[in-house]
């Protein structure tokens, strides 16, 4: 949902959360032995700088007005409420169409996709004029992590930063 105000476009904050994958809710794809026992939560934070140079992360709400150039940090939290440890969990966070990936990706060594279906270890590379080159982050559509050993009531966090187009 977007509204044009003069020459500047503002986007409603709710449209800025990662989009859900088919048949899954809350913008997250979980693959483990028991996904019902995992609680997930996604949040978007607006990144700004205080007068003293200190970085400020402010929660994005339905009332937040975003504009081109704003930096957002997305956090995905996953809590294991299962009676057992989750040995391996794959978490995929899509990158909303209204933003482009900047980096700030944690944990390290994720996989990424330019089409949302095929994933490879980051940084993605492509052959151009018979030379291997890095794919610009602006082409990435999703980031995926393999997380191992999530104990009972443990919460893991994944995150990335993106810029509003």
Tens of pLDDT, residue by residue over 81-133, are 888 888 888 888 999 999 999 999 999 999 999 998 999 999 999 988 999 99
What pLDDT is attached to residue 84?
A: 85
pTM of the model: 0.78
Percent pLDDT > 70 in the chain is 78
Residue 7 has pLDDT above 60, yes or no: no
Contact 124, 48 (CB under 8 A): no
CA-wise closest residue to 89 among 157, 142, 139 = 157
Average pLDDT taken over every residue of the chain: 80
Task: Render 66-108 in DSSP notation, one character per residue.
Answer: EETT-EEEEEEEEEE-SSS-EEEEEEEEE--TTEEEEEEEESS
Residue 13 has pLDDT above 60, yes or no: no
CA-wise closest residue to 156 among 62, 76, 57, 52 = 76
Q: Left (φ > 0), alpha (ψ -120 to 50) or beta: where does 36 sit?
A: alpha
Alpha-carbon span 143 to 147, nearest angstrom:
13
């Amino acid at each position: 949902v977007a509204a044009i105000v003069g020459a500047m476009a503002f986007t409603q904050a709710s449209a800025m959360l990662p989009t859900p994958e088919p048949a899954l809710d809350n913008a997250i794809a979980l693959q483990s032995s028991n996904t019902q026992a995992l609680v997930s939560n996604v949040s978007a934070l607006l990144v700004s700088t205080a007068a003293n140079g200190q970085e400020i992360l402010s929660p994005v709400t339905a009332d937040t007005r975003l504009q081109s150039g704003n930096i957002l940090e997305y956090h995905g939290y996953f809590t294991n409420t299962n009676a057992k440890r989750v040995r391996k969990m794959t978490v995929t966070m899509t990158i909303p169409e209204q933003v482009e990936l900047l980096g700030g990706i944690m944990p390290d060594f994720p996989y990424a996709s330019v089409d949302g279906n095929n994933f490879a270890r980051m940084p993605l590379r492509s052959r151009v004029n018979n030379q291997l080159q890095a794919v610009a982050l602006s082409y990435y559509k999703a980031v995926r992590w393999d997380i191992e050993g999530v104990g009972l009531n443990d919460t893991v966090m994944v995150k990335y930063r993106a810029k509003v187009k």
